[in-house]
Structure 1
Amino acid sequence: MRVAFATEAAPGRDNEDYAAATPDIAVLLDGAGTPPGSESGCAHGVAWYSRTLGSTLVASMTQSAESLTDTLASGIKTVASLHDSTCDLAHPGTPSATVIMLRCTGDALDWLVLADSTLVLDVGEAEPMVITDDREAHVGARYRATMDALDSGSPEHIAAHRDYVEGMRHHRNRDGGFWVAATDPLAAEQALVGTIPTSHVRAAALLSDGATRLVDRFGLATWRQAIDLLDHRRPSGLIHEVRMAEQSDPNGSRWPRGKTFDDATALYCRFGR
C-alpha cells in the first residue's frame, strides 16, 4: 500500500483532524470542534482528543489482530481513562471525533467508518464505492434552517452555529441520533464495517468532511472526479480546490455551511494493481 496524505487547518484555528498510515494501515479522525462561547468540560481540547485517540488506534492496529470494532472500543476506553480524573466526561460537549480505519491483512482489506468522514474505494468501475455514515446529516437537517439563512461569519451566524452544535449534542451517541467516538466504547459497535478483497481495490481515499466538501457540499466534482484528482494532483491538490471554492463564497450565500472554512484532510492509498 502506497500512501500520500495532506492536511490543512482552517485559517486561524488549530487543526482538529488527525491522519496516519503505515504500509498496512491507515487512520483518519475529524474532531468535532467546540464553537466560541460553548463549553466542553475538557481541559485538553478537541485537537488533543483526535491526536490521542488516533495514535492509540495506530499503535493497537500494528500490534494486534483484533477486529477494528474491538480496537476502536478499546481505544475510546483508553483515552477516556487518560482524562477522566481531570475533565468532566459526562459533559454533553466532551471532545469527540469521527473515525475511519483501514487495514490490509493478507488478501483482505478491512474497513471501519464511524460518523461523517468518508471512505471512497476505487474498485475499477465507473463509480467508486462510497462509504459514509450519514446519520448526523439526517439529524442535522432538522436544525440547519436558521443557521443556513445567515451570512457566514456574521455575529448572528456564529450564534446560530453555536446553538446548532449544542442542539446536536442531545442526539449524540443515542438511539435514533448519531454516533461518534467520545467516551463510550459502545459507540464502536455502531460503526459501519466491511471487508473487501484487496485485489478488487485500486485505491482508497480517507476524507474528512472538510475535504469532501468539493463533492457533497459544493457539488463541484463527482466522487470519480475526486478520486482522479487525488490520483493526478495528490491530496494537496484536492484540498487546494476546496479552499478555492470556500474563498469564492465567503458569506455562504451559494453554499450555506456552519463554517466558512473547515479543517481538510485527505489520505490516499494506492494498491498494487
Structure 2
Amino acid sequence: MRVTMATSPGRPDQHNEDFTAATPYGVVLLDGAGLSGTPSRCSHGVAWYTRQLGGALLAGLAPNNRQMLTTVLADAINQTASLHAGTCQLDDPGTPSATVIVLRRNRDQLEYLVLADSVLLLDQADHAPLVVSDDREADVGRLYRATMDGLTNGTPEHDQARRDYVQALRAHRNKPGGFWVAAADPSAADEAIVGSRPVKDVTAAALLSDGASRLTDIFGLTDWAGLLAILRDRGPAELIRQVRAAEDSDLDGGRWPRGKTHDDATATYCTHIS
C-alpha cells in the first residue's frame, strides 16, 4: 500500500488536534474533539489524547493481531485511559475525545472501522465511491446550532454561541439516542460502523477529518468522486489548499455557516492496495 498524507492546523497559534499515521498493516486517522473555554477535568489536552490513542491503535494493527477492529479500538481506548486515570476525571463530559477511522488489509479483504463524523472514501473500480461516515452527531447538532449559525463568525457572540453549542452536545455524548466517540469508555467501540470490501474491488481509499471533507459535505464545491480525483491527480496537500481557499472566501460564515471558520484538516490517501 502506498500512503500519502497532509495535515494543517485550523489556526497557527493552536495545536493540531488531528492525528494520522500508517504502517505496512494499516492506516488510522483521528480528529480530536474539545474546545478551549469550556470545562474539562483533563490536564493533558486533546492533541495529547489523539497522539496516545492513535499510537495504541497502530500497535493493535500488528500482523499477528487478528482481533476484530472493534476489539482493537476498545483495547486502545482502555490503554489510553490508563495513562491518565490517576490524574484526570475521565467520566467528565469534557474529557478529551476523538473520531476514529481504521483501515486494515486482512488477506484479501480491506477492513474498516469508522466512529463519529470523519469520512472514509473507498474508490471502487466498477461502482461509485463508497462513503462511510457516522452522522449521529450532526443529527443531534441540528437541534442546537441555529443560534450559532445565525451569527457572524469571528465575533464574541459567535464564539460564545459555539461554546454553548459544544456544552449542549456533551450531554448527548456516548449515550443511547445520542452520538458516540472515542473517549475513556471502551464500550463506545461497539457503536462504530464496521465493514469490509474485497481488496480487488478497491482502487484507492481516503481518510478525511471533517476539516478536509468540508470541501464536499459543507461547501459543496465538488462531489465525493471529484474529491477523490483531486487526491488522485494532485494529492492531499492540494485538497487542503482548496479547503483553505474556500474558508478564506467566507470568513464571516455567511455563505457556509459553520462552528469553526478554519478547522484542523487532515487527508490520508492510500493507493496500490491490491
Partner Cα distance (2:234, 2:51) in 1: 27
Partner Cα distance (2:231, 2:34) in 1: 26
Please list the CA deviations of residues 227-251 of structure 1 after superposition, one character each: whole Å capped at 9, or x if unmatched.
0000011000100000000000000
Q: When the two structures are superposed, what TM-score results if normalisation uses the length of structure 2?
A: 0.97
Letter in 1 for 2:60: S
Partner Cα distance (1:104, 1:72) in 2: 16
Contact 2:34–2:94, Cα closer than 8 Å, also in 1: no
State the partner residue of 1:129: 130
Letter in 1 for 2:242: E
1:41 alignment partner, SS class: coil
Q: Residues 77-156 of structure 1 correspond to what in structure 2 (within 5 A)?
A: 77-125=78-126, 127-156=128-157
Partner Cα distance (2:138, 2:22) in 1: 28
Partner Cα distance (1:88, 1:272) in 2: 41
Please list the CA deviations of residues 40-90 of structure 1 after superposition, one character each: whole Å capped at 9, or x if unmatched.
110000000000000010011115221110000011011111101101112
Partner Cα distance (2:219, 2:116) in 1: 20
State the partner residue of 2:249: 248
Partner Cα distance (2:144, 2:272) in 1: 41
Partner Cα distance (1:139, 1:110) in 2: 28
Please list the CA deviations of residues 87-110 of structure 1 after superposition, one character each: whole Å capped at 9, or x if unmatched.
111211100000000000111111
State the partner residue of 1:25: 26
Partner Cα distance (1:267, 1:178) in 2: 24
2:176 alignment partner, SS class: coil
Aligned alpha-carbon RMSD (Å): 1.0
2:125 alignment partner, SS class: coil
Please tell me whether residue 48 in structure 1 is matched to residue 48 in structure 2: yes
User: 1:24: how far off?
Assistant: 2.5
Instruction: Calculate percent identity across the aligned residue pairs.
Output: 57
Please list the CA deviations of residues 170-219 of structure 1 after superposition, one character each: whole Å capped at 9, or x if unmatched.
00000000000001000000000001110000000000000000000000
Which runs of 5 or more residues in structure 1 are unaligned? none
How many residues are treated as equivalent by the alignment? 272
Please list the CA deviations of residues 139-160 of structure 1 after superposition, one character each: whole Å capped at 9, or x if unmatched.
0011010000000110000000
Q: Residues 202-221 of structure 1 correspond to what in structure 2 (within 5 A)?
A: 202-221=203-222
Q: Flag as ranges the 4+ runs of structure 1 deviating above 2 A.
A: none
1:3 alignment partner, SS class: strand
Contact 1:201–1:271, Cα closer than 8 Å, also in 2: no
CA 253–58 in structure 1, closer or farther in 2 if over 3 Å, else same = same
Partner Cα distance (1:152, 1:40) in 2: 24
Please list the CA deviations of residues 234-273 of structure 1 after superposition, one character each: whole Å capped at 9, or x if unmatched.
0001000000000000000000000000000000000256
Which runs of 5 or more residues in structure 2 are unaligned? none
